[in-house]
């Protein structure tokens, strides 16, 4: 568990799992040979230089609001990916150990509606999917919701068990891609991975941070922003969004918190010869 302070805003990481098994399915360009040749990459790969990914939530505390950003995979969910199918893990115990209670969350904010970002939106109680964070409003970008109402799902009934029950419970709020949650926390549109994908911008007391979502899956995409994930809805748009993001935040005192970055998870984008790296 890691924590960061951005002005008056606190951010706490709650890890569900870390894996080196997804790399070939996401970024086939990021081979062990390529990653092993990049000196600063070592905290973000395993002992075999395989791409390492963390699946975690980030709890943001801002102006008396407690905001849950992305909710990982979840338990008991039927999933096409065998390692995640009907998974059982101690995520909620880790959440409690970090000092939080489910009824303490005011807002759940999903950067997008992929399987590993909405799972703990709900939990199974007496055979029914109910909101895990019982007091919270769940914010979804309107474009994202409209997309997934029509799109075929690859990993199982993700919308049916992790999103639709939130609407059925009257807890869902559709928002625009630059929606402000507090004066210190707002959405930043970063489309491409999905049509309505958003990142989260934090600014307080002259300090700034951005939570990436899946606009960047892994720090190697800071060096190679043209490397789009096989999971991207629009690879060209994703690369354009990512390249513009890297250029915009390079050499600025803005903390970049990766939604799937393992190791130190966060750092600043700095120039590295003709490209860029994550300075952690």
What are 111-133's pLDDT values in tens digits? Answer: 999 999 999 999 999 999 999 99
Q: What mean pLDDT comes out for the span 12-30?
A: 94
Check: pTM over 0.85? Answer yes or no. Answer: yes
Give the pLDDT band (50/70/90) at residue 24: confident
Q: What angle do CA 90, 181, 58 make, to 5 degrees?
A: 25
**List of domains in the chain:** 3-279 (3.60.15.10)
Tens digits of residue pLDDT in 138-176: 999 999 999 998 778 889 999 999 999 999 999 999 999
Q: What mean pLDDT comes out for the span 102-115?
A: 98
Helix (H) or strand (E) holding 13: strand 9-19
The secondary structure of 144-163 as a DSSP string is: HHHHHHHSPPSSSSHHHHHT
| Percentage of the chain exceeding pLDDT 70 | 100
β-strand pairing of 254-257 with 207-211 = parallel
Mean pLDDT over the full length of the chain: 97
Q: Which residues of 84-93 are buried (b: 16+ CB within 10 A; e: fewer)?
A: beebeeebbe
pLDDT of 134 > 90? The answer is yes
Tens digits of residue pLDDT in 228-280: 999 999 999 999 999 999 999 999 999 999 999 999 999 999 999 999 999 99
Judge whether 212 and 172 are in contact, CB under 8 Å.
no
179: how many CB neighbours lie within 10 A of its CB?
17
What is the pLDDT at residue 112?
A: 98
CA distance 52 to 40: 14
Residues forming a β-bridge with 39: none
């Amino acid at each position: 568990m890691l924590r960061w302070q951005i002005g008056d805003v606190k951010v706490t990481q709650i890890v569900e799992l870390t894996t080196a098994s997804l790399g070939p399915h996401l970024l086939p360009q990021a081979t062990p040979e390529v990653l092993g040749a990049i000196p600063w990459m070592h905290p973000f790969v395993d002992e075999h230089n395989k791409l390492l990914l963390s699946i975690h939530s980030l709890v943001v505390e801002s102006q008396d609001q407690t905001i849950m950003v992305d909710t990982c995979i979840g338990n008991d969910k039927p999933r096409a990916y065998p390692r995640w199918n009907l998974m059982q893990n101690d995520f909620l115990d880790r959440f409690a150990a970090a000092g939080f209670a489910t009824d303490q969350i005011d807002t759940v904010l999903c950067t997008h509606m992929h399987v590993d970002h909405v799972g703990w939106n709900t939990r199974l109680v007496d055979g029914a999917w109910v909101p895990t964070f019982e007091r919270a409003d769940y914010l979804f970008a309107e474009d994202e919701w409209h997309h997934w109402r029509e799109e075929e799902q690859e990993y199982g009934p993700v919308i049916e068990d992790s999103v639709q029950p939130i609407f059925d419970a009257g807890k869902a709020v559709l928002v625009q891609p630059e929606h402000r949650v507090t004066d210190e926390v707002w959405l930043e549109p970063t489309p491409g991975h999905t049509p309505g994908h958003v990142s989260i911008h934090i600014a307080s007391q002259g300090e700034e941070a951005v939570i990436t979502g899946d606009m960047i899956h892994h720090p190697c995409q800071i060096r190679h922003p043209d490397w789009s994930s096989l999971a991207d809805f629009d690879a060209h748009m994703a690369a354009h969004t990512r390249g513009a993001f890297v250029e915009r935040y390079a050499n600025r005192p803005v903390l970049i918190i990766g939604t799937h970055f393992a190791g130190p998870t966060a750092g600043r984008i700095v120039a590295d010869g003709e490209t860029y790296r994550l300075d952690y």
